[in-house]
Amino acid sequence: MSRRFLQFALVGAVGFGVDSLVFILLWQVAGSSVQLARVVAFVVAATTTWYCNRRLTFADRPAQPCLTQWRRALTSALLAALPNLGVFQLLLMLLGHQGWAPYIAMVGGVLAGMGVNYFASQIWVFAPASKSSP
C-alpha cells in the first residue's frame, strides 16, 4: 500500500472519531434530533478530513481555493456514502443481523466508501497539477 493511502485511511479514522463524538454530543448531550445531529456530525467530520488531507495526505499537491476544494470534498464524501451503505445492506442480507454481523457489515461498507472517496480525492478533490503542453 502506498504511504498516501495509509495517511488517507488514518485521516479517515480521525474523521470517524470526530463524526461519532459530534453525533453523541449533539444527540445524547445537547438533546437535538437524531437527524440534525447526524447531518451536523457528517459535515463536521467531512470538513475535518478535508482539512487534514489538504495539510497532510495531499500537501504536495498544488493548493486550490479552499471553498472549491471543500465543496468537492463534501460531494466526494456524499458519493462515497452510496457504496458504503450499499455494501453494508448487502452484507447484512448475507450475514444477518445477529452477533458480529452488523459490525462486519459496517466495516465492509466503510472500506467500500473509502475506496471511492480515495479515488475521487486523488483525481478530483486534490487533483494533481495539470501538465501543460510545450
Q: How far is CA 2 from CA 5, 6, 62, 106, 131, in A?
A: 5, 6, 20, 24, 23
Reduce the DSSP state of residue 110 to 3 states and report it: helix
pLDDT category of residue 134 using cuts at 50, 70 and 90: very low
Q: Tell me the per-residue pLDDT of 17-48, one tens digit each, with 9 for 90 and over.
A: 999 999 999 988 999 888 898 889 999 999 99
| pTM more than 0.75 | yes
Looking at per-residue pLDDT, the higher value among 129 and 72 belongs to 72
CB 48, CB 14: distance < 8 Å: yes
CB 83, CB 55: distance < 8 Å: no
Q: Tell me the per-residue pLDDT of 61-110, one tens digit each, with 9 for 90 and over.
A: 988 899 999 999 999 999 999 999 999 999 999 999 899 988 898 889 99
